[in-house]
Structures are given as structure tokens and as C-alpha cells.
Amino acid sequence: MTSAVDDDTPGDGPPPPPPTGARAPATTPPPAGTDGIVVAGLRRAFGTVQALDGVDLRARAGAVTALVGPNGSGKTTLLLVLAGLLVPDEGRVLVAGHDPVADGPGARARTGWMPDAFGTWDSLTAREVLGTFAAAYRLPKAQADARVTDLLATVHLSEFADRPASVLSRGQKQRLGLARALVHDPQVLLLDEPASGLDPRSRVDLRLLLRRLADEGRTVLVSSHVLSELEEMADDAVFLSKGRTVVDSWSADATATTTRTFHLKALAAGPLAAWLATAGVVWRPDGPTVETAPDRPAGVLVDVTDDADAARVLRAAVSAGVDVASYAPVVGRLEQAYLDLEEERR
């Protein structure tokens, strides 16, 4: 699959409003741990390009699931199928217990969709954009007005509420797109590169908001190529490559017992060298080997077997009189899993 196909997200205008009958359901999310999204044997082709070629996926309610893969792996195509905007050629799909094809209104009423390319009516204000979608979901006027005001505050757009969307920056439009996906209080969120265009403060706010939404019992599926951001919010991950699921059960909790490399930086090389000579840890220089004055900062790479071992190494270094300036993984767990996967597939 080519990246052009995978990036074929509708973005020239707003997404279609929910079909007739897609009133937002007055139901609570399913219990945490149950499957909010189920995909089995999913296939979708664009002419001779097989965009999805056997995707299997389960995303839990009450969890943030990361959708990981290189450009052209099928991530956006999969999200479009889940959102009911593409019909699959084969396979089984359930979103909040509803088939997006056989029961489009039921699925869409329970799904919040945020595409990578934001499309909206530029002549409408931010408040009017959200109000239009609230009306499409047939929220009562008073409830819709309160919901819109609350969402604008949640995504920090209250001061821009009555300005036309055309004057909003890319990051502000992204935040408006997230509010639009949440307007009907969906059980499932499908987010394609939601942090694109956001400033650092807004990225932090996004992570906290998605974490809260998952903690409330929603199913959150997030696609992003920035693995460090996904690492900070994801409970689970699904890896795609060439339209196929290559790993469908990565868990942040499970990887707490995998071998990792930490970078340890000390304020003085002397005490660090003395400790390493007797510490019994597996280590190597963090760069070209050069003679460092005993009172100058120095760093090493230390291999640890799991989180408990990482804590033991730090505790031992401090107890031995090493002034540790920093101690952190070289790469995150999610990034390491991705790199290991790519290495295996070479």
C-alpha cells in the first residue's frame, strides 16, 4: 500500500453528519476491559492496492489503544472503516457492539471520529460548528448549548467561541475537531494524528484528556507516528505493516518485565567509575571512549532486565555515593517494541 492511499482522509470539507436515526444514545460506556472495538480478518483494496490484508484487532473499553505502523501501513484506512466511511471487502467489524455497515446509525451514534485533515465550514464560528453537530445528533437545544460551552472550555477555545473557523490556527482547528468528536458523548473515540499541529502545552492537555476519557470507560483508539507521545498515554498497542496486523496484543504492563537500556549521567566521573568497577552491572560508554577528569560529568548506558532491576541499579548507584544527574530509558517501551519488530522483519 502506498502512503497516498493511507493518507486519503476526507479533509476538503466537514465529515458527513450522522444519518437519520443516529441520535446519541443515552447509555453508559461498557464495563472497563470489555471490547469496545472488534476487528477480524479485515480486508479492503483500492484497485490493485491491497490497503488492508487481514487485520485483527481488539480495543478494550477503559483503555487507550495505540495504532502503530509506518506510513502506508493501513492505519488511516482502518480508521475510516471503523468510522463507517469505507465499506470493507471482507471481515468482521464491531464498534461499541454495532456493525458500521449493517447498523450504520447505531455505530456512528456511539463513535466519535477525528480525522487527521480537519474539514469544517469556515464561515461558521467554533460554537456554531459544534452546535450544528449537536443538532445533527438531535441533542435537545438546552443540553446542546451546555455541552458546546463545556467542550469549548475543555479544549481551551472559549475565547475563540464566536470567531469564524477560518481564523483559527491549525492547532486550534485540531482542538475544535476533538471537541466535535466528543459532542455526542460517544463510547468509542477514533483519533487519527490528534496531536498534529498542537503546541507543547496543548499536547499535554490532550494526553490528560484522553487518559480521563479512557478512565471513564470509553474506548480510545489513537493513531500517531510520534511513539513517544503514544507511550505516555497508551495502555495497549496494535502494530500494522503492509495492511496486516503484525502484533495485536502489546501491553504497557506486560513490557515492564522486558530488557531495556537506561542512560545514567553522573555529575562526576570518579565516583561513577569506582562504583561500576564493583557494581556487577552490564554497562558500556555512552559515546566514544575518552579520558574524563574525575570531577567532570560522565555517562554510561546500563542494561536492566525489568523495572525492578532499573530501580535497584539507581538505588545502588546513589548508595555508593554517585551523584546521579539523570537516569532514564534510552527509548520508550513502545518505541523499543516497534524497533524490535522492524528488526525482526528485515
Q: What is the pLDDT of residues 13-30, one digit of tens each?
A: 455 545 444 445 445 566
CATH number, domain 3-250:
3.40.50.300
Nearest to 74 by CA among 203, 245, 198: 245
Confidence band (pLDDT; 50, 70, 90) for 107?
A: very high
How much is the average pLDDT of 50-68?
94
CATH 3.40.50.300 residue ranges of the chain are 3-250
Mean pLDDT highest for which of 126-130, 302-306, 333-337? 126-130
How much is the average pLDDT of 31-54?
90
CATH number, domain 256-344:
3.30.70
User: Identity (one letter) of the amino acid at 23?
Assistant: R
How much is the average pLDDT of 244-261?
66
Mean pLDDT highest for which of 13-27, 160-174, 331-345? 160-174
Given a contact cutoff of 8 angstroms between Cβ atoms, the answer to whether 217 and 62 are in contact is yes
CATH 3.30.70 residue ranges of the chain are 256-344
Q: What is the pLDDT of residues 259-300, one digit of tens each?
A: 789 999 999 999 999 999 999 999 999 887 656 788 899 999
Q: How many CB atoms lie within 10 A of CB 109?
A: 23
Confidence band (pLDDT; 50, 70, 90) for 119?
A: confident
pLDDT above 50 for 193: yes
How much is the average pLDDT of 239-246?
89
Q: What is the pTM of this model?
A: 0.77
Question: In terms of pLDDT, which residue wins out, 86 or 229?
Answer: 86
The string of DSSP letters for 290-304 reads ----TTS-EEEEEEE
How much is the average pLDDT of 182-209?
91
Given a contact cutoff of 8 angstroms between Cβ atoms, the answer to whether 210 and 233 are in contact is yes
